[in-house]
Chains A and B, each alone.
Chain A
Amino acid sequence: MAQMKFLCDADRCIECNACVTSCKNENEVPWGINRRRVVTIDDGEPGERSVSMACMHCTDAPCAAVCPVNCFYTTDDGVVLHNKDLCIGCGYCFYACPFGAPQYPRVGNFGSRGKMDKCTFCAGGPEQDGSPIEYEKYGANRLAEGKLPICAEVCSTRALLAGDGTVVAQIYQDRVARRGYGSGAWGWQTAYNETVETGTAPHRGD
C-alpha cells in the first residue's frame, strides 16, 4: 500500500495561497478553521522561503498518541484521520502536533473549543465514503474517487507534492539534483523520521 505524504518544495512555492483557498472551497471548511496555510520564513530578506503546511500525516502520529479518547486512526494509505463523534475538544492534539495542524471552531475558554478539524488528505472520515454526512463532517473524499488532495492538484508551480512517499521523495530528489539547491523536505524528519537525501554539493560561501 502507498504511504501518503505531503512534500512542499519551498524553493518553488510562490506564496500564492491557492492551496489554502482551494482547500477551504473543496472541503467547505468553516470560518476560522484553516486546514492548510502558507508561512513565509525570513520574509523580505534575501533567501526568504514560503512553506505550505497542513497535517503531515505522520507515521506514529503524536496527536493519536496523546488523544485521551483515542479518536485517531491511520488508514491503509497512511492517512491520519479522526472521528469527530468521539472527539471531546480537549486541545491536546494541538499541543502535540509539530505542525499546528489541528483546528477548532472556537477559541476554547473553559474547554469550549468544539470538535477538532484538520486536513484529511482529502480522504474524508470514518463515515461511508462519499456520503453527505461524511462531507458535512470531514469534507471531500477525493482519495476514494482516485484523486489526490486538491491543494497539490491546484499548485501552479508544483511546489506542493502529495502522494506516495517514495514517489514524491524521488520527484524532489531529481529536482534538487537538476537545479543544484534545495532548502529541504520541510517536516519530513519530524513527521516521518526520514530525510530526503538530495546529494547536492555544498555551495561556496555556505
Chain B
Amino acid sequence: MSKPMARIHPRIRLVLAAIALVVFAFAAPVAAQAPHPDGPNAAAVKEQQLLQQNYLIQGRGTIADTRSYVVEQPLGRVWRLIQEVWLRWIGAVVILGVATLFAVLYFTLGPTRIEAGRSDRKIPRFKSFERVTHWMIAMSFTILALTGLNITFGRVLLLPLVGPQAFSWWSLLAKYAHAYASFPFVLGVVVLFLLWAKANIPTAVDIRWFKAGGGMVKHVHPPADKFNGGQKAYFWVAMLGTVGVAVSGVFLLFPFYWTNVMGMQISQLIHALIAVAFIALIIAHIYIGAVGLEGGWEAMASGEVDLNWAKQHHSLWVEREFGQGRNVAPPAGATPTPVA
C-alpha cells in the first residue's frame, strides 16, 4: 500500500525513465513554441502587411468557386484607371491621329495617279478565292472593330445619344457579335497566310524599295514584286497583330481557365492595345487600297488590274507574269492571231 514506486522492479524503472526521456526529447520543440508574450492574437496576420508582400490576398475558402479565395486584389483599381482614362486617350489619339494623317495626305499630296494613263489591257492579280477570303476578313474585322470600340467608347459617345435601354440592347448584341466574328476573322487570316506568306518573304528588292521612299516621292517608282516592301511589312505586322488579338482573345473567351484575375486584366489590356494599333493600321490599309492609289481598288474588286498600274507599282511581278506566259487579257476588240 505504501511507497508503490518502490515495489516496481528496478529494470522496469529504468525502461520507464528511458521512455520518459524520449518523450521529453520530442516534446522539446513543442515547448519551444511558447505563446506570444502578448497572447496568440498579437501574432495575427495583418491586412497591410499582406498587401505589401503580394499583389493580392489569398486564403482558403469553403465554396467550389476557387476565384472567391482571393479576398482582396487592389490592382483592380489600377485596371479601372487604365480602362477609364489611359485606354480612351490612347485609343482616341492613335485612331484619330492616323485618320487625320491620311486625310491630310489626301488633301495635300492627293491620290497617286496611274502616270502612263489607263491602258486597255488588264492583268489578273487576285483569284476569286483570295478575294472572297480577303472580304471575309474585312467584314469580320469591321464587326470586331466597331463592337470592340463600343466597349471602350460606347458609354461616352453612343449611350448619351440613344439612351440606356437601346444602348444596352445593342451592346449585348455587340458582345456576342464580337465573340463569334473572331472565328471567320482568324480563319481568313490563316488562309491568307498560307496563300501569301511565300510571296511576302522580304528580299533585297524591298530594301531598295524602302530606300527610294516606296514611290511616295513623286515620279520615282522603285521596282517591286507582286508585293512591295510596304505591303510585305503590312502583311507581317497584320499577322503578328492577329496572333496577339487571337491569343489574348482566347483568354477572354474562356475566362479564368488558364489564369487568375491579374491574368484576365493583362489579357484584356493586351487585347485592347493591339486592337487600337490594328484599327489604325487598317485605316492606313483602306486609304492606300481604296483611295490613295488610282487603280489599286480593282485588285480586290474584280481581281484584274490595269497593266499600266501593274507596271508602275509591281514591275518585277509583271515581267515574271509575262515571262511565264500568263493569261493577260488582250486589248478590247483584238482578234487572236493563230500561231502557225
- The segment from A92-100, A133-141, A144-152, A159-167 found at the interface with B is A92-100
Residues of A within 8 A of B155 (CB): 67-70
Residue B44 contacts which of A11, A34, A38 (CB distance < 8 angstroms)? A11
**Does A190 reach chain B (CB closer than 8 Å)?**
yes
Contact B47 A183 (CB under 8 A): yes
Residues of A within 8 A of B46 (CB): 183-184
With A66-B80, A100-B67 known to touch, is A183 a contact of B175 (CB < 8 Å)?
Answer: no
Identify the closest chain A residue to B151 (Cβ): A68
Identify the closest chain A residue to B71 (Cβ): A39
**Does B42 reach chain A (CB closer than 8 Å)?**
yes
B132 to chain A, nearest CB (A): 26
Contact A181 B44 (CB under 8 A): yes
Alpha-carbon separation in the docked complex, A205 to B158 (Å) = 59
Residues of A within 8 A of B65 (CB): 32, 34
A103 to chain B, nearest CB (A): 8
Contact A47 B43 (CB under 8 A): yes
Interface residues in B, total, Cβ within 8 A: 64
Identify the closest chain A residue to B65 (Cβ): A34
With A51-B71, A68-B151, A99-B71 known to touch, is A91 a contact of B159 (CB < 8 Å)?
Answer: no
**Does B69 reach chain A (CB closer than 8 Å)?**
yes
Alpha-carbon separation in the docked complex, A42 to B255 (Å) = 27
Chain A interface size, under 10 / 10 to 19 / 20 to 34 / 35 or more:
35 or more
**Does A204 reach chain B (CB closer than 8 Å)?**
yes
Contact A88 B84 (CB under 8 A): no
**Does A194 reach chain B (CB closer than 8 Å)?**
no
**Does B79 reach chain A (CB closer than 8 Å)?**
yes
Contact B47 A37 (CB under 8 A): no
Convert A37-70 into 0s and 1s, putting 1 for each residue whose CB lies closer than 8 angstroms to a CB of B: 1111111001111110100000000100111111
Contact B38 A190 (CB under 8 A): no
> In chain B, residues 133-181, which have Cβ atoms closer than 8 Å to a Cβ of chain A?
150-152, 154-155, 159, 164-165, 167-168, 171-172, 175-176, 178-180
Residues of A within 8 A of B77 (CB): 62, 96, 98, 190
Q: Which residues of B are at the interface with A, using a C-beta cutoff of 8 A?
A: 33, 36-48, 50, 57-65, 67-77, 79-80, 83-84, 150-152, 154-155, 159, 164-165, 167-168, 171-172, 175-176, 178-180, 253-256, 261, 264-265, 268
5 nearest CB pairs, A to B: A62-B80, A184-B47, A47-B43, A39-B59, A41-B59
